[in-house]
């Protein structure tokens, strides 16, 4: 009996959807009060939660909105405010706040703007007005890649970004964003960018919501799922130069208070510093090992995010990187209190990837013996675990990842990830700032990180050490890489001003580029 590959993929996809639907029947309600506290902490400081999965859907919105004003903006969509009908004003205020908390705890609600790039990147929420909402931000970045062999390539850049979304008419809203960047002092290093300034129409979309249950977005949009993401607030690119949007369609279904289902199809990609969308990724546009790889026509994906309580979350995703690979991915995270001011966090992740198309079987590289070798099909697995202990204002994190697969497959079992490669914005637990198994190749890695909070958590300092042991298959690939990271971030109280400094020191073999230091200072302000 023969089963065509397309039928097998369709069967796997249907099986996944069926399992998710059955799974949702047993969901327990989440704690909205606890979620609100967590979401506000994340908004004021994007990295304030030490082990919050970077692929978790953050609660974004406008906490300064009042329930009744939002109700009016939505055309009386919701019942009258509890304060309008309750005789006891104190009880009414409490009931109204609980209702607001409930709406903020849901991904699809009038309080949440899922396309706001400023809230994702800079950790503050949108400002609502009578005709919709707007948000803007300015970021100044000073950095340098200092190669210890003597080559110094410096970069200084300023980025301004504005975004807005109209009020809704019949559930429909229009939104858009504009990004301007200028790099007056930089040398056009081949793995960064070689332009001095540009203005990018980064977003232009239509969004439709139905009863806080269904949301559909189409146009030039940002995507924020684990392996196909646009935002710059991940560990490797915090407050980076620009978002990388997609021409895409996306649908979200809020099954219940705990379960969110998401599906998307991305057609083209706008990689910084390109000023329009195309079929390139960093696989085929930088000067690295895969430079010149055939272009891709996008990606599709479907996933589930389950948060039954404030202390546990679960993510399950299926991706098809068109012409390249299929990927199944899941992770989960548990937070548990041990004693007063003492708690622990646990996380587990798994990934499986196989070929889909011939893109990665049609390019060549030079192996360690100097022979020209054609890349083989993809067959990769990845496992990861993380553990942290939180004691007062200090968190100690230990993480491990292993990427492995068939020795005859692409780079001895390496994974491919076209929309995080070169950016270090992947969800692997051991990705620190400038290194990741997602791009280095198959092998193992560990990370040790300590984070301290001061001044009522407005000041955060962190130190990290990570090592990567790679199955080397070509001459300019590193076999071992070590990274040291030190970061200091200050969120100025009662303002939307953030100051952030980071120093990264990477040790690697001379054939892979040699040791280098990257200092970076960033100041950003939102309005």
Q: DSSP secondary structure string, 92-109?
A: HHHHHHHHHHHHHTSSSS
Strands 516-526 and 443-454: unpaired
Q: Where are the domains of the chain?
A: 5-65+111-526
Go through the chain and tell me how many residues it has. 527
- Residue (of 312, 313, 314, 316) closest to 303 by Cα position: 316
Instruction: Quote the CA–CA distance of 208 and 269 in Å, as a whole number.
Output: 22
Cβ 118 vs Cβ 231: under 8 Å? no
- Residue (of 461, 46, 65) closest to 240 by Cα position: 46
The reported pTM is: 0.78
Instruction: Quote the CA–CA distance of 113 and 124 in Å, as a whole number.
Output: 12
**What are the backbone angles phi and psi of residue 56, rounded to the nearest 5°?**
-70, 140
pLDDT by residue, tens only, the chain of 527 residues: 333 334 434 444 454 445 444 433 333 333 323 333 333 333 334 333 333 333 322 222 222 222 222 222 223 222 333 333 333 445 555 655 565 566 555 666 666 788 888 777 666 666 655 567 878 888 777 777 777 665 545 566 777 888 889 888 888 999 998 887 776 655 544 444 455 567 778 899 999 999 889 999 999 999 989 999 887 655 444 445 567 889 999 999 999 888 999 999 999 888 766 777 777 777 766 545 565 566 678 899 999 999 998 899 999 999 999 888 999 999 999 999 999 999 999 999 999 999 887 777 666 677 777 777 777 788 999 999 999 999 999 999 999 999 999 888 888 899 988 888 877 889 999 999 889 999 899 999 999 999 999 999 899 999 999 999 999 888 778 899 999 999 998 988 888 888 888 899 999 988 777 888 888 888 888 87
The gap from C-alpha 382 to its chain's centroid, in whole angstroms, comes to 18
Torsion of CA 405, 382, 237, 39, to 10 degrees: 160
Cβ 286 vs Cβ 274: under 8 Å? no
Domain 5-65+111-526 homologous superfamily, CATH: Porin (2.40.160.10)
């Amino acid at each position: 009996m023969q089963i065509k590959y397309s039928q097998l993929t369709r069967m796997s996809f249907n099986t996944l959807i069926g399992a998710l639907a059955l799974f949702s029947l047993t969901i327990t309600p989440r704690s909205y009060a606890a979620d609100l506290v967590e979401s506000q902490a994340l908004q004021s400081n994007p990295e304030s939660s030490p082990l919050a999965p970077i692929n978790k859907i953050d609660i974004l919105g406008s906490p300064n909105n009042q329930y009744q004003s939002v109700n009016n903006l939505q055309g009386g969509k919701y019942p009258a405010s509890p304060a309008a009908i309750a005789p006891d004003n104190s009880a009414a205020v409490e009931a109204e706040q609980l209702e607001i908390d409930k709406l903020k705890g849901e991904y699809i609600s009038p309080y949440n703007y899922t396309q706001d790039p400023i809230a994702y990147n800079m950790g503050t929420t949108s400002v609502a007005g009578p005709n919709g909402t707007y948000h803007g931000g300015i970021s100044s970045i000073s950095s340098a890649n200092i190669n210890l062999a003597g080559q110094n390539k410096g970069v200084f850049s300023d980025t301004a970004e504005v975004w807005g979304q109209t009020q809704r008419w019949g559930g429909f809203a229009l939104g858009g964003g504009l990004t301007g960047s200028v790099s007056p002092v930089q040398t056009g290093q081949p793995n960064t960018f070689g332009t001095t300034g540009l203005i990018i129409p980064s977003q232009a979309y239509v969004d439709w919501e139905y009863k806080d249950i269904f949301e559909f977005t189409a146009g030039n949009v940002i995507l924020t799922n684990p392996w196909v993401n646009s935002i710059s607030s991940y560990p490797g690119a915090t407050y980076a130069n620009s978002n990388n949007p997609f021409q895409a369609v996306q649908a979200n279904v809020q099954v219940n208070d705990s379960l969110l289902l998401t599906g998307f199809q991305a057609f083209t990609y706008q990689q910084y510093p390109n000023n329009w969308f195309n079929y390139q990724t960093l696989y085929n546009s930088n000067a690295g090992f895969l430079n010149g790889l055939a272009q891709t026509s996008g990606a599709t994906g479907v996933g589930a995010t389950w948060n039954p309580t404030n202390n546990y979350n679960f993510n399950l995703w299926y991706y098809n990187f068109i012409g390249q690979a299929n990927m199944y991915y899941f992770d989960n995270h548990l937070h548990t209190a041990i004693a007063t001011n003492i708690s622990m966090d646990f996380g587990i992740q798994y990934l499986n990837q196989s070929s889909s198309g011939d893109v990665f079987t049609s390019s060549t590289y030079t192996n360690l013996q100097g022979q020209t070798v054609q890349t083989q099909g993809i067959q990769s697995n990845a496992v990861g675990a993380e553990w942290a202990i939180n004691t007062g204002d200090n968190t100690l994190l230990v993480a491990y990842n292993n990427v492995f697969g068939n020795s005859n497959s692409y780079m001895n079992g390496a994974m491919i990830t076209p929309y995080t490669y070169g950016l270090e914005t992947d969800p692997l637990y051991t990705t620190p700032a400038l290194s990741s198994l997602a791009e280095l190749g198959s092998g193992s890695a560990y990370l040790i990180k300590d984070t301290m909070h001061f001044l009522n958590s407005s000041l955060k300092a962190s130190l990290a050490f990570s090592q990567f042991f790679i199955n080397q298959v070509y001459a300019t690939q590193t076999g071992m890489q070590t990274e040291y990271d030190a970061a200091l971030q200050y969120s100025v109280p009662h303002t939307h001003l953030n100051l952030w400094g980071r120093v990264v020191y990477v040790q690697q073999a001379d054939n892979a580029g040699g040791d280098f230091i990257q200092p970076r200072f960033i100041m950003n302000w939102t309005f």
